[in-house]
Amino acid sequence: MVRNQHRLLLLLKVKCSMVLNDNKGAIGVFDSGYGGLTILSQFAKLLPEYDYIYLGDNARAPYGNRSFDVVYEFTLQAVRRLFEMGCPLVILGCNTASAKALRTIQQCDLPKLDASRRVLGIIRPTVEVLGDITRNGHVGIFATEGTVQSQSYSIELKRMYPGMKVTAETCSMWVPLIENREYESEGADYFVRKNIEHILSKDPQIDTFVLGCTHYPLLLEKIKKYTPQGITIVSQGEIVANSLRTYLLQHPEMENRCIKNGSRIFYTTESAEKFSDSAKIFLKDEVEAHRLMLS
Ligand code: DGL
């Protein structure tokens, strides 16, 4: 009953905004859970004038060890929902979804759903800047099992910078530690140290670590603690925000469709209270979330 009322209200809100704003809407940001908030917080810092709708599929997180088909299906459901809410542009603030679902959505689904809208990922913009960051061409990627298996980072990096040596490390426990708020615990020390030692045993010359999962900035203090001096740690928020700014400058037809009232709306597939509580940690700000179901 309450859910139906909420859906009805949402529908009315979306319909009204469509009547009032034609084909305009907020920028959608999607992640499996809380991780995309590290991207949204940088959007809000660099491009505060835009409206944003955040959708976290917390009920089904983590995505990291799910199959290609499942990540694609869940991501498509989220993109559809954000389109229904009027978003002309959706950013997949999730490496796993960018690695496993983005291409199929862009090539197969978007033309059928609405060819005038756009869905963008976060792997390409991250890869683009790495050539200027690494000094010796040895790059280490920390990511979920899904992102590592997809080889998206290696493929993109080698295409853009032939000769670069890319070593990926699956950090299966990092997202569960964060989603369960254990990222400051001794358990977190154990797993962070283990993965750092392991990646360096595979390539001791690595001079750049990429946090290839949007959750990982929450573990930054631990990661710094076990990273040898001289290795640069790259996290994605600022990079992706700069890339969005460039995209909007280069695409005025899309920029004109993005509403600029500075509003932020948060949706989660899990409990709204739980989301609001945890989102504070990521955004350092109070957040009022709403629950929705994806199907
Ligand atoms: N935050 C996501 C990423 O960037 C995925 C975390 C997960 O659901 O496993 O990969």
Express each pLDDT in 277-287 by its tens digit: 999 888 888 99
Cβ-in-10-Å burial (0-12, 13-18, 19+) of 16 comes to: exposed
How does pLDDT run across 264-273, given as a tens digit for each residue? 999 999 999 9
Residue 24, number of CB atoms within 10 A of its CB: 17
pLDDT at residue 2, as a whole number: 47
SS3 assignment, position 284: coil
The CA 31 to ligand 1 mean position distance, Å, reads: 7
* Mean predicted confidence (pLDDT) in 205-218: 97
Q: Annotated catalytic residue: which of 87, 171, 213, 258?
A: 213
* Mean predicted confidence (pLDDT) in 170-179: 94
Q: What are the tokens at 15?
A: 């319909």
Active site includes 87? no
The CA 175 to ligand 1 mean position distance, Å, reads: 7
The CA 219 to ligand 1 mean position distance, Å, reads: 14
Q: How confident is the model at residue 20 (pLDDT cuts 50, 70, 90)?
A: very low
Q: What are the tokens at 182?
A: 């254990």
Alpha helices (H) in 101-185, listed in sequence order: 102-104, 110-113, 123-133, 145-150, 152-160, 174-179
Confidence (pTM): 0.91
Q: What number does the ligand 1 atom closest to the CA of 96 have? A: 10
Active site includes 258? no
The CA 62 to ligand 1 mean position distance, Å, reads: 6
Residue 263 has pLDDT above 50, yes or no: yes
* Mean predicted confidence (pLDDT) in 156-185: 94
Pocket test for ligand 1, best of 30, 95, 218, 268 (most atoms within 8 A of CB): 95
Quote the CA–CA distance of 279 and 218 in Å, as a whole number: 12
* Mean predicted confidence (pLDDT) in 148-152: 96
Q: How confident is the model at residue 1 (pLDDT cuts 50, 70, 90)?
A: very low
Residue 56 has pLDDT above 70, yes or no: yes
Q: Of all residues in the chain, what percent carry a pLDDT higher than 90?
A: 89
Residue 9 has pLDDT above 80, yes or no: no
Residues in contact with ligand 1 by the CB-under-6-Å rule are: 31-33, 35, 61-64, 94-96, 144, 147, 175, 213-215
Q: How confident is the model at residue 118 (pLDDT cuts 50, 70, 90)?
A: very high
pLDDT at residue 208, as a whole number: 98
pLDDT at residue 98, as a whole number: 98
Mean pLDDT of the residues in the chain: 93
Quote the CA–CA distance of 14 and 273 in Å, as a whole number: 23
Residue 289 has pLDDT above 80, yes or no: yes
